[in-house]
Amino acid sequence: MYILERQQKVSGSMEQAWAFLQNPVNLDSITPPDLQFKIVTDVPEIMFNGLIIEYRITIPLIGTHSWVTEIKHINEGGSFVDEQRLGPYRFWYHYHEIRQEEDGVLLVDRVHYQPPAGFLGRIVHRLYIRRTLERIFDYRQKRLDEFLAAAD
């Protein structure tokens, strides 16, 4: 099992951050273009516990995959989880948190994940997966800064 954790301070309020994150469509705008991310299912403007979302994602060098997640453990205005039901990982549990701090709003992402294919998956993780996830989350941070600064 691997863990990827990111924290970032953003401008704006907790309400603005929550309003952005609770809309599943916004995931497209914070995903790198080379992943050709596409939401397949119809989604509401506001997520809810038990929401199942199907995406198509292209993983460079690997190909296009279906990815199905369930939104769960919503703590209105503060946190939620998206958990993979079907997709490229053997296990994927992504915890999102918004926290008010003295000097701004802190966004926390904590992903517990396990690549597929046992030993081979661990090798691919070392050579490719970890770097790819770091790049994706770097992009997300940049885009979240832009979107939430514009909401001020």
**What CATH code is carried by the domain that includes residue 25?**
3.30.530.20
Cα 106 to chain centroid distance, Å, stands at: 16
List the structure tokens of 74: 């919503």
**Could you read off the pLDDT of 130-140 as tens digits, one per residue?**
999 999 999 99
In total, how many domains does the chain have? Answer: 1
Backbone dihedral region for residue 118 (phi beyond 0: left; psi -120 to 50: alpha; all else: beta):
left
Asked whether 104 and 10 are in contact (CB, 8 A), the reply is: yes
Residue whose C-alpha is closest to residue 128's, from 63, 59, 75, 67: 59
Say if residues 39 and 25 touch (Cβ distance below 8 Å). yes
Percent of the chain with pLDDT over 90: 84
Q: What is the pLDDT of residue 152?
A: 58
pLDDT score, position 115: 94
Helices and strands: H and E segment counts in the chain: 3, 7
* Rounded distance between C-alpha atoms, residue 141 and residue 69, angstroms: 21
Which residues in the chain land under pLDDT 50?
A: none
71: containing domain = 2-150
Torsion angle, alpha carbons of 98, 23, 110, 34, to 10: -130
